[in-house]
Each structure stands twice: as structure tokens, then as C-alpha cells.
Structure 1
Amino acid sequence: MFFQFLIEDRSTNILVDHVMQKLTKQHMEKEIVWNVKHFGGIGHLSKKGSVLERKTGKLLNDLPMFLRAFGKVLQSMEDSALIIVLDNDQRDVRKFRQELENTAISNIVLCDYVFCVAVKEMEAWLLGDPGAIREAYPDAKIQFLKRYEQDGICDTWEVLADIVYPHGYQKLKKKAGGNYTEIGKAKCEWADKIGKCLHLYENRSPSYQYFIRELENRLIPDCPQL
């Protein structure tokens, strides 16, 4: 089975690689291969068709172009799927999913594909596994999870920062000084360390459960709901 991922940013790329490595060990009887194309952020869906398209490095801006390109390649490949992973941020999840599906339909994507939306953002998938957080960060301040609503449209990475970053979110914010590079670096570290400890099937995040279920459904068609 070949999975082609389109992913919003590097930290999600790191997490997905860990998930796929674990999934490969879980299904050692199957040949699982994957490739990841990550972008430099999410960007915005174009509201109007453009005669001239150019790459922007943002997932949503470039989505029509990559849907068409990978759609053609994967259409001729047996046992392959295109998996698009992105955050909904502040968007209404149902409306956002419909906009994504409309984009795929309008670009005539004929290969197997699925949009997996992290609600509100990728860090929700890390917060969904407190055991993995404790294993990765033995001194983690897990009590901060009490103020977090799983997969809610609320602070997500900020809560994770309070849990695992020395002196919490405010310290990271001050160190970053308005520069996202420092925050992005921290997010990559969390995705790597917690991702290594993540339990494939023990996660409180509904959007993570949807993601892993879509992968399993392609490895084992009609597999039981997780």
C-alpha cells in the first residue's frame, strides 16, 4: 500500500512519520510505503479560479495544483491513496470539509483520497494521549489538561506549551519575541518526542481517531471501527 501525504507543516510531517512507522510495525505482513510533501503553512483556498497558477508553498493555495498532479499519478497505481492532513484552526469543521471536497471534485480527482482535519490543530492529537506526554516528558505538568477541551476550538498548542515547555507558554512566547521560528521549533520537538511515544489506538482526539481509521480502512478494508 502506498500513501502520499500532503501536509501543512513540518511538525505535522514529523508526527505522521512516527504514526506510519508504528503502523508499519503493527501490520508487518503488509508492504507499506509512504511519501510526505509538507508545506510552509496552510494558506487560503482561492475563492475564484485563476488562469495563471503558481506555487506559493502554502497548502491550501497550492491544493488544486497538487490534487490534479497526484490524482493523475495515483490513479494508475494499485493500492494507493492521497491523504491530505491539515488544521481547521478557527474554521467551522463541517463547512471547511465541504470546501475541501468541493475543491477535489472541481479538480476531478479520480484517485482514492481523504481529507483528515486536525481539530483545532495538530497538537490536539498530542494532547489526546496523556500517557505519551508523560513518557516523553516525565516532568510534564499534566494538570494543565484540566483546562483543555479535547478537539475544541480553543487554545491548543498554548496548553501543550504550558504542560511541557520549561516555565510554560508565556516563557516560550517571550523567547519567540514575535518570531514564529522559535515556536515552530518547539512544535517540531513536541511532535518528535511525543510522537515516538504515541499509542496508535489509545487517543482521546476524535479527529486523530478519524485519521488512524482512514489509514486502517485502506490497509484492511471494512476493518472494525476503532
Structure 2
Amino acid sequence: MAVAAWLYERSESEVIYFLLEERSMQRALENLLPLIIPGESYEIRSHNGKEDLQLAIRKVVPTLSRQPGVIIVILHDQNSHNCLELKNKLKVLSERADCEVLIRIVCKELEAWFLGDMAAIEQAYPRFRAAKFQNRKRFRNTDEIKKPSEHLRRIVPELKRYDILSKLDAAERISACMNVRNNRSKSFNHFVTGLKKIVS
């Protein structure tokens, strides 16, 4: 099987495996996880979109989950899906796992987490002014914003000149400045709380 062949390698110590849709989330977690779960051992693996991720969950997670002390964390963008229906689908796909599995839905996509921390955006892009946007109604619950990646591109002066947001670059820059204890994205806070609980 070609998909996620790395998962068949046996871990020699307890480890948390993060299974993600894409590389931009990997870039973000590389900056965020040392702040959320300092001292923990983990591996981050991104996939080529939701179909590739779901295939890995179904076919590879059962084998991976038999390693001693393993915890699996699955992060999946909500996009246009119903959140509860999507989470239930992922639960079904991972039901053969022999370890604890944490499933978290990113509402609606990763950039909603960034919009939840306007101060981090300002640090990453100095021409942006957080005070101009952070009290606007639409940004009070960033999980409700449709296409947050497009909103991010439109409000950040350094990004406006691009037709399409460079998600990898934005993820690396903004996540490096984020405060994991202060974010308006409920799905981000839900992820942080769940992750801390599962490793405690």
C-alpha cells in the first residue's frame, strides 16, 4: 500500500501521531505543539487532501494503533460539511483503532484559527492593524466565517496583492506568533483542551 507507508514503522517509545489533511496545518502545528504539549513526543504527518487522509484513517490506523502507548490525533477541516456528521464519519473510519483517538474538526478551515488571534497576524505582518478588525462582529466568532483564508488575504495589506493566499507561508508566519491561551476560534480552543486532556 502506498498511502502513509510510514505508519507501519514501529515506534520505540510512546508517541502521539497527528494525521492531517495538508502541509499548511503541519507547518502550524510545528510551531504550536511545543507550546501546547511541551515535552511530549509526537510525529506530524500531512496528507494530500481529505480523501487521502480518510484513506489513511481507514487502512493504516488499525495497524498504527497497536503500537504501545500510541495516541492518534486526527485534524480535519470542516469546509462546507456539517460538523457533527463529519466527526461521526471520522469516528466510523477509525473505529478499528486499538488506542485512544482524538478527532477534532477545524471550523471552517485552518485560517479561522489565525483570524482568532489578530495580534499574531499583526506580529507576522506589521502593516496589518489588529485594532481595526478585532472588534468587528464578523470576527467575534471566527469559526463562523465562510472561506476564512480569503478573508485573511483581503484584510492583510501584505497579502492583498496576491490573487490566492500562500497558505504555507501564512501558516508558518502566523502560527509562530500565536498565543495558544487566547484565541477567538472555538474549534482551536476545543483542540487545545482536548489535546491537553488526552496526554494528562
Same fold (TM over 0.5): yes
Q: Is the 8 A contact 2:73 2:103 kept in 1?
A: yes
Q: Does 1:135 align with 2:123?
A: yes
2: CA distance between counterparts of 1:114 and 1:137? 33
Residue of structure 1 equivalent to 2:190: 210
1: CA distance between counterparts of 2:84 and 2:94? 16
TM-superposition CA deviations, 1:124-183 (whole Å, max 9, x none): 111111111111111115445634451015121001111225362xx422xx5xxxxxx4
Q: Does 1:63 align with 2:57?
A: yes
1:96-175 equivalences under 5 Å are 96-105=86-95, 108-142=96-130, 143=132, 146=136, 147-148=138-139, 149-152=141-144, 154-164=146-156, 166=158, 168=160, 171-173=161-163
2: CA distance between counterparts of 1:167 and 1:210? 28
Residue of structure 1 equivalent to 2:34: 21
Q: Is the 8 A contact 2:20 2:47 kept in 1?
A: yes
- Deviation of 1:94 after TM superposition, in Å, equals 0.8
Which amino acid letter does the alignment assign opposite residue 63 of structure 1?
I
TM-superposition CA deviations, 1:21-65 (whole Å, max 9, x none): 2235xx4xxx4111011111112xxxxxxxxxxxxxx21233201
Which amino acid letter does the alignment assign opposite residue 20 of structure 1?
L
Q: Does 1:188 align with 2:168?
A: yes
2: CA distance between counterparts of 1:216 and 1:62? 24
- Aligned CA RMSD, in angstroms, stands at 1.9
User: Which deviates more, 133-142 or 187-196?
Assistant: 133-142
| Runs ≥4 residues deviating over 2 A | 141-149, 163-167
- Deviation of 1:2 after TM superposition, in Å, equals 2.1
Q: Is the 8 A contact 1:141 1:162 kept in 2?
A: no
Residue of structure 1 equivalent to 2:20: 7
Q: Does 1:200 align with 2:180?
A: yes
Q: Is the 8 A contact 2:54 2:93 kept in 1?
A: no
Normalized against structure 1, the TM-score is what?
Answer: 0.74
- Deviation of 1:67 after TM superposition, in Å, equals 1.7
- 3-state SS in 2 of match to 1:91: coil
TM-superposition CA deviations, 1:44-93 (whole Å, max 9, x none): xxxxxxxxxxxxxx2123320122222222xxx23x31001110110000
2: CA distance between counterparts of 1:217 and 1:65? 27
Q: Is the 8 A contact 2:125 2:158 kept in 1?
A: no
Task: Give structure 1 stretches of 5+ with no counterpart.
Answer: 44-57, 177-182, 221-226
- Deviation of 1:200 after TM superposition, in Å, equals 1.2
Normalized against structure 2, the TM-score is what?
Answer: 0.83
How many residue pairs get aligned? The number is 183
